[in-house]
Structure 1
């Protein structure tokens, strides 16, 4: 049977840490707790569970903290955990079974990450695979009988283990602060982080968060971008135009978005909002309908589901068509329930 180090990076997690550590107890062989500056009882709780505790000076870099935690691990495999995660009894059994029968060539185990839509995380699925268990020391192997080469791709296993994500709240404000600091320092954001920044804005950003991000996303247009990324930028800049009631900015970005091919649901939704705020309900209905039925979301799945349907209901209510209003209210509720059942 393999041994496992659980590695966590924490800061002020006293409200949820014990719940997490209790679900890891007797499941892993050591718990490495890397504290990035807690001022509450986080480290005290860690000591109660026998964690190996290390301090790490926070440098606005989660990857640096994760790398530090991996350096402290001593077991065969490393399980990456967060304080707001829980493994229930059924999945604890699956985890233990995995420890007993995992094949030696497997280097990464993916587990199902659940409960994301419920807590407004930056992913559009309630359940998706994420790499969670890593072989600590990788063995390099040569392959092919002639013109031999070292195998570079890791051996990955998709398990049936489900990790329940149960945060106290959304972490977007913290993330927005990190994004802004990186941008101010002139540190380039990767394509992935640019997408995550936009995604978090559309999931939990307030008007001010969008406006503070506007200059950055505008600057991205100075370089050639793939259509996929252009559509994300257009979503952000169209929202900024709507917030400022800048019709020219909305028109410029929305038209480019439509010209890219299939329009983005987020853009159609914001154009609908613009016309609704102007009192042009007939035009607003057209754009909300397109968001709900004729487009796909780029950043937040709700902009192609219940959100435009609720706006359609409101438009018909304002125009005095109560029958249509009730119909779209029911459709919005059905969309929410259908998504919950699918996940």
Structure 2
């Protein structure tokens, strides 16, 4: 059986660190925690789980701290988590089974990252990451912000998920990192333009976000999946600015970068036509969103709501407006499967029962 080093970087994580370590400490053979300047009880909490707690002066770049944490690993494989991540019970079992059966010739194991949960326990966003990597391969972290492991070789995909349970959000922190890069005259990769656009969008700088997304889309280099989502996210910015025509154009442009439409684009196109009270076309796009099958080998962002409860809820509304109450009721019932106590859907159910 292979051995595993858990490597983490932390700063002021006293509220969540124990929760994280409780979910994984019994599965790994070593815990390495690199602290970048905590002023709360984080270090004391870490020392309850391991004596391998190290200090590293923050450089302003996450890759430096993550690479430092990997230097302290001594086991066969390195597993990384953030302090506000956990392994749920089912994933703990899967991790144990993987560890017991993993072929030592594997260089990396990708796992899902459940980046958010709604109030009903539904995953709001997930994507794959190289999560368990062979130490002897000396893989390095790249990127100043939204960094990634540069991995090559024998990579396998697992169905294990690390779940993000963040209690707060550092608004503007990542944006400032990119703005420092600009101030310093650093060059931007296509990936930088995509993630800088995301930070601008999240902080309400929609026009600048559009500019950054467009630079990503127009560059010959870069991952097609980033370009696809740059089109979709740019469309959101156009909608927030009231530019509905460019919103629609950007959504259709996303089709350039995938062999089939994505539910995230189809549901937005449906909403575009719904807002114009063109319910027939809206129904077409919402139904298409529910019919697109998920590819488990996909690495890029997936937002499950756009293929599940959301289009079903909007189909309920659209069918109601064309007086097809039976179909309206049926889609509301499907939406309720994902959000059984949602007040909007319960109201719809009560209303529609009068007509069927």
* TM-score normalised according to structure 1 size: 0.68
Instruction: Choose the corresponding residue for 1:219, options 200, 215, 222.
Output: 215
Residue matched to 2:273: 275
Distance 1:315 1:176 in 2: 39
Consecutive unaligned residues in structure 1, runs of 5 or more: 139-151, 338-343
Q: Does 1:327 align with 2:330?
A: yes
Q: Does 1:47 align with 2:47?
A: yes
Alpha-carbon contact 1:182-1:188 (below 8 Å) kept: no
Q: Give the match's secondary structure for 2:12.
A: coil
Q: Which has the larger radius of gyration?
A: 1
Residue matched to 1:142: none
Alpha-carbon displacement from aligned partner over 1:169-204 (angstroms, at most 9, x marks no partner) = 586856853674377455555556666778x78xxx
Residue matched to 2:38: 38
* Superposition deviation, residue 299 in structure 1: 4.6
Quickly say closer, same or farther: Cα 1:68–1:254, change in 2 above 3 A.
closer
Residue matched to 2:348: none
Distance 1:56 1:117 in 2: 29
Distance 1:209 1:231 in 2: 20
Alpha-carbon displacement from aligned partner over 1:128-173 (angstroms, at most 9, x marks no partner) = 68431423477xxxxxxxxxxxxx964567789x565252358685
Consecutive unaligned residues in structure 2, runs of 5 or more: 139-150, 295-299, 341-356
* TM-score normalised according to structure 2 size: 0.66
Alpha-carbon contact 2:193-2:212 (below 8 Å) kept: no
* Superposition deviation, residue 328 in structure 1: 1.4
Q: Which 10-residue stretch deviates more, 209-218 or 288-297?
A: 288-297
Quickly say closer, same or farther: Cα 1:315–1:59, change in 2 above 3 A.
farther
Listed as ranges, the matches of 1:142-181 within 5 Å are 154=153, 162=160, 164-169=162-167, 173=171, 177=175, 180-181=178-179
Q: Which 10-residue stretch deviates more, 233-242 or 327-336?
A: 327-336
Residue matched to 1:135: 135
Alpha-carbon displacement from aligned partner over 1:205-242 (angstroms, at most 9, x marks no partner) = 76826555222012234433686555333222222222
Quickly say closer, same or farther: Cα 1:165–1:189, change in 2 above 3 A.
farther
Q: CA RMSD in A?
A: 4.5
Alpha-carbon displacement from aligned partner over 1:280-332 (angstroms, at most 9, x marks no partner) = 44443343334334798975343233322211112233455433321211233
Residue matched to 2:239: 242
Q: Give the match's secondary structure for 1:208.
A: coil
Distance 2:137 2:220 in 1: 40
Residue matched to 1:317: 320
Listed as ranges, the matches of 1:1-343 within 5 Å are 4-25=4-25, 28-83=28-83, 84-86=85-87, 91=92, 95=96, 98=99, 106=105, 108=107, 110=109, 112-113=111-112, 118=117, 120=123, 122-124=125-127, 130-136=130-136, 154=153, 162=160, 164-169=162-167, 173=171, 177=175, 180-181=178-179, 184-185=182-183, 187=186, 190=189, 208=204, 213-224=209-220, 230-257=227-254, 262-293=260-291, 299-333=302-336
Quickly say closer, same or farther: Cα 1:275–1:170, change in 2 above 3 A.
farther
